Amino acid sequence: VVAEAPSAVEAARQADAHQPNVVLMDVRMEGMNGIEACRIIKNSHPDMAVLMLTSFSEEEAVTSAIMAGASGFLLKNVGRVELLKAIRAVGAGQSLLDPAVTRSVIDRYAKLLESERDRAVDAISDREREVITLVAQGMTNRQIAEQLVISENTARNHVSRILEKLNLTRRSEAAVFAAQHGLLPEDG
């Protein structure tokens, strides 16, 4: 420990003055919050690791800390041995999330991704719905072109646009997506 600070502003000053490898900071501090101080520290010292501590596993705080550049996020009830391991890990360039908050962060990200894809479903044109249905049936671009009386190049372009809109990379993912989002006809 090279310094202690009673406030986030002072923590940022101490980080400037002492240049530690790791800053251990509370999310809630007097004056400016720890997340904003983390952002300031990371702007001035991008290679400095910041490990955030909090009493509560608030999704918003975790997300904000990550966006501010924190290398790790732990609950204050972490044991001494785990805390030392975490400090060493982030000091070595690793990222770390308390297991108690990992699931909520993953769930939140999944919900955001799902919401983004739901918006994308709304953006799919009627023609693209036809195409994704045919993709889900296992048709090739040539078969889709024949079925819809379009060129093979146009069919390929439709498939590419669908994958792009849905943030997918493979036709098989588009087929699964179509099934999961009710884009397939009831009979098959």
Kindly report the backbone phi and psi dihedral angles of residue 25, in degrees, each rounded to the nearest multiple of 5, phi listed first.
Answer: -135, 140
Tens-place pLDDT, residues 109-142: 778 777 777 777 788 899 999 999 999 999 999 9
The answer regarding whether domain 115-180 maps to CATH 1.10.10.10 reads yes
Tens-place pLDDT, residues 3-31: 888 888 888 898 999 999 999 998 888 77
What pTM was computed for the model?
Answer: 0.57
Rounded distance, CA 71 to CA 137, Å? 45
Indicate where the chain has its CATH 3.40.50.2300 domain(s): 8-102
Helix 126-136 to helix 152-165 angle (10° resolution) is 100
Indicate where the chain has its CATH 1.10.10.10 domain(s): 115-180
Rounded distance, CA 121 to CA 117, Å? 6
Rounded distance, CA 161 to CA 183, Å? 16
Question: Is residue 83 classed as helix, strand or coil in its secondary structure?
Answer: helix
> Predicted confidence band at 187 (pLDDT cuts at 50, 70, 90)?
low
Helices (H) and strands (E) in the chain, counts: 9, 4
- Supply 166's token pair: 């849905």
Q: Rg of the chain's alpha carbons, rounded to an integer?
A: 24
Fold of 8-102: Rossmann fold (3.40.50)
Tens-place pLDDT, residues 145-184: 999 999 999 999 999 999 998 888 999 999 998 888 888 8
